[in-house]
Structure 1
Amino acid sequence: MAIPLAIGLSTASVQADTIRIALAETPSDELAAFFVALERAKANGLDYEWTAFSDEELAIQAVLSGQMDIGFGTPYAAMQRSKAPLRIVFQLSKLKFFPVTTKKYSSLEDLNGEPILLHSRGGGTDSIANVIEDRLGIEFGERSYVPGSSNRVAALLGGRADATIIDLSNKNKLMRSEAGENFNVLEMFEVEASDEALFANLNWIQENEEDVNTFVKALVSVWQDMAEDPTIIRRETNPDGPIGQLPQEILDQLDGFYADAVEGGLYDPNGGGRKAAQADMEWYSAAGQLDGDASELNIEDFWYLAPLDAAMN
């Protein structure tokens, strides 16, 4: 049965050696840096097409089935369950989410037994809630699920929730708004684990080594340039590409979005590598998405570091 798709576009006529990329969402400001990297890779000879799936699980399944070559996500549970040798090659972003509450609460410990609004069952915010419970020895009350940080902000503003976990961009928008004085951002421990990563079947990676190296090198160059000057993303965004076609009000905010993201540590200029891999073992093990003790897990069963090592040399 065919996997349902959201949007599919190609940068070139589809050829046998065209890399098929499975996005886990439709193009947005959060994907602008990724598309800048694709433009750089294309300039160095990479042929690609991308398809946007409606969620991460569908993107993972598309790679597992061979419908797509490389995908977005953190498919750790699928890596352990599947016979397919999936491997991560690049950390796209860290798991930087923030507990935001009404003035009713002032610390994470205050949320013991209290209801919380999260993105999805088994998703990133759910794993964050699990780790908070584990580290602080507390237990949240009822968990309710509303996809999209902006929708959870609306629930806070509408008085339908007192506590949630949202992304960096929406946290900043809320706290800078007139309503910001009505909310607290609770102090959170530092997280180096991956929120989004780029992964593929190891056999495919090794069979397409040159293209994968070109792709990862382009990603590293953009992530490092962005760390030095976040405005590079707006300046290099292709006006005729999917990001360039977004509403002008979003394009006008790209500088602010990426300045906040860089300052907030959302992106590792070195693509994560071994540090991120080890952080992922610890995080996703504690979150219940990896079986086994983190100290006994081998990062090479989940990451393939050769392309990143080559890009860093």
Structure 2
Amino acid sequence: MKNLIKRIVGLAAVLPLAASLLMSTAQAETLKIALAETPSDELAAFFVALDRAKANGLDYEWTAFADEELAIQSVLSGQMNIGFGTPYAAMQNSKAPVRIIFQLSKLKFFPVTSKKYEKLEDLAGQPIMLHSRGGGTDSIANVIEEKAGIKLGDRSYVPGSANRVVAMMAGQADATILDLSNKNKIMAEGGDKFNVLPMFEVDASDEALFANLDWIKANEEQVNILVKALASVWQDMAKDPTIISRETNPDGPIGQLPKEILAGLDGFYKDAVEGGLYDPNGGGRKAAEADMDWYTEAGQLKGDPATLNIEDFWYLAPLDAAAK
């Protein structure tokens, strides 16, 4: 079986939720990973980790879903084993035994607008373009409303920061939320047209890896190989961001990206590491506690953050094993 399979799928392809109960305890021969977008520079570090995991015996395949919501549903349904996202609302509302095992990145995002806006309060009633419904940028928009005391206008969803940059440059939107790299890109190309609005500090998870807890325990060896590989890459990257470009497989999905994107990998990861986008320790308890606060304030978790049990949302054994 090929180790890499790329398919863009829709919600109609997602299997019924009941199937997860049958599949979660089955020993998987091939780990099935649900990406929340197609391969990009933002996923280069993850694919380096996959290559390291493969060298240690992990057999995997990946599927690129159209957005985070579909990736989450594919894991809830049992169609996929591990997914990208921060499915806190789904974990709490569905009561499915889904747990996060690794923080891939923090919520380091920036409100970028046309010159007509100068502060967050100016966005009251104004439309805004975000990544996905229920995703990280959606939660940031919720907290902006809470902290700025405003109500945003209509929300439109365009997956991928790079795609939102294109829309902004074309004048198709006046406000969006971008990641660090694309914030730098749009200001370098059109700084005379845009403002980066002052933003409060955020330390919660943007992207994380999650899976059904029953499946995790039934496939402990596979999960530990993957988490150990991720931790090793995140730690190496913190010391030297150029490790990502140097270890990117030229024949893999990242290596097949346009040359101009590959040429920018060192700059992207240097900026990301300096900007605090990645936790070398994979988040763990510190990230879990920050997530309880953030996603409660964002409206995706219900209850008092102080009384929420992080073990209801995170499974820390793989990270603890990797730390040893």
CA distance in 2, matches of 1:57, 1:142: 19
TM-superposition CA deviations, 1:62-113 (whole Å, max 9, x none) = 2222221111111111111224200000001111110112233322233334
When residues 146 and 17 of structure 1 are mapped into structure 2, their CA distance, relative to the original with a 3 A threshold, is closer
Is the counterpart of residue 250 in structure 1 residue 261 in structure 2?
A: yes
Measured in 2, the distance between the counterparts of 1:83 and 1:151 equals: 34
Which consecutive aligned stretches of 4+ in structure 1 deviate over 4 angstroms post-superposition?
none
Query: Where does residue 29 of structure 1 map in the other structure?
Result: 41
Q: Distance in 2 between matches of 1:240 and 1:144?
A: 35
| Residue in structure 2 matched with residue 230 of structure 1 by the alignment | 241
Query: 1:107 aligned to 104, 119, 135, which one?
Result: 119
Question: 1:123-272, aligned counterparts within 5 Å?
Answer: 123-177=135-189, 179-272=190-283
Distance change >3 Å, CA 180–CA 216, structure 1 → 2: same
Structure 2 CA distance for aligned equivalents of residues 165 and 267 of structure 1: 19
> With structure 1 as the length reference, what TM-score do the two structures score?
0.90
Deviating more after overlay: 67-76 vs 55-64: 55-64
Write the distance in 2 (CA, Å) between the matches of 1:216 and 1:92: 11
Unaligned runs of 5+ in 1: 8-14
Mapped to 1, the partners of 2:132 and 2:28 lie a distance apart of: 37
| CA distance in structure 1 between the partners assigned to 2:296 and 2:7 by the alignment | 31
Task: For residue 214 of structure 1, report the CA deviation from its aligned partner.
Answer: 1.4
1:45 shift after superposition: 1.6
Q: In 2, Cα distance between the equivalents of 1:6 and 1:114? A: 32
2:30 maps to a residue whose letter is T
Q: Corresponding residue for 1:11?
A: none
Distance 1:64 1:200 in 2: 8
Letter in 1 for 2:43: L
1:170 & 1:62 partners in 2: Cα distance? 28
| 1:87–1:202 Cα contact (<8 Å) kept | yes
Partner of 2:320: 309
- Is 1:92 matched up with 2:88? no
CA RMSD of aligned residues (A): 2.0
CA distance in 2, matches of 1:78, 1:18: 25
Letter in 2 for 1:262: V
Mapped contact 1:5–1:54 kept (Cα < 8 A) = no
The answer to whether the aligner puts 1:67 opposite 2:79 as a matched pair is yes
The residue identity in structure 2 corresponding to 1:224 is: Q
Distance 1:240 1:148, change over 3 A: closer
Write the letter of the residue equivalent to 1:309: D
Task: Decide whether aligned partners of structure 1 residues 288 and 237 sit closer, same or farther in structure 2, where only a CA change above 3 A counts.
Answer: same
C-alpha displacement of 1:43: 1.3
CA distance in 1, matches of 2:151, 2:108: 21
Name the CA distance, whole Å, in 2 between partners of 1:170 and 1:88. 27
Q: Which residue of 2 aligns with 1:12?
A: none
Q: TM-score, normalised by structure 2?
A: 0.87
